[in-house]
Amino acid sequence: MSDDGRPKVKIVHRKNRLQDKVGGRTGAAGEIDPKLIAAAQSAVQRLMPDYDTQAARELAAIQAAVVEANASTGKTRLLAVKRIEALTNEMRGAGETFGYPLLSKFGRSCCSFVQGLTEVNDAQMTVIAAHVDAMAAVVTHKIQGDGGAIGRELAIALKKAIDKFRGAAAG
């Protein structure tokens, strides 16, 4: 106890080693070299013109997996849905990088919906297909940014499909 009756407290300011490892301090270990950032941004700019073609190819693979999942049941359907999840995860990762945040948003939603499923019924397939349809609209119509009114309409339609499923599942 101190002379005034309060307990003695020692405040220790520890060095933030995590920040040193991941960067954030000029000259510290882990700082990301601005030249590397510029090189990465340059690479993205070089790849940008080809992204629409790449996205269309990836989308075609996802759509093929949806067709396979719809045509099957049980473990085969689940495996097709897990492939949809993996392909969608890949696609959503690149979406924002190349100016398609809606693609990332819909992909993230699809992955979240599919994650943890151990079996997949027809109602769930309808929701998964709605996600893929929303992603297809973004890719086909090259909807960049937030998509404005069309982006909002797609997001609302997808939310309705998810809410309808959740309502049916609860009832």
CATH of the domain at 73: 1.20.120
Please answer whether residues 101 and 95 qualify as being in contact, where contact means their C-beta atoms are separated by less than 8 angstroms: yes
Query: What is the total count of domains within the chain?
Result: 1
17 lies in some domain: no
Structure confidence by residue, pLDDT tens digits, 110-149: 999 999 899 999 999 999 999 999 999 999 999 999 899 9
Task: Provide the angle, in degrees to the nearest 10, between the axes of the packed helices 122-140 and 34-70.
Answer: 130
Over residues 59-95, the pLDDT tens digits come to 999 999 999 999 999 999 999 999 999 999 999 888 8
Q: Is residue 37 part of a domain?
A: no
Identify which of 32, 44, 31 has the alpha carbon closest to the alpha carbon of residue 93. 44
Gap between the Cα atoms of 125 and 162, Å rounded:
11
Alpha-carbon torsion (164, 168, 170, 171), positive or negative: positive
Quick check: pTM over 0.85? Answer: no
Q: Is residue 155 part of a domain?
A: yes
- What integer is the mean pLDDT of 97-114? 92
Residue 145 lies in a domain: yes
Question: Can you say whether residue 70 is alpha, beta or left, with left for phi > 0 and alpha for psi between -120 and 50 degrees?
Answer: alpha
Q: Is 16 domain-assigned?
A: no
Q: Which domain holds residue 66?
A: 51-170
Rounded CA gap, 156 and 161, in Å? 9
Specify the residue for token string 């709605």. 130
Q: Is residue 9 situated within a structural domain?
A: no
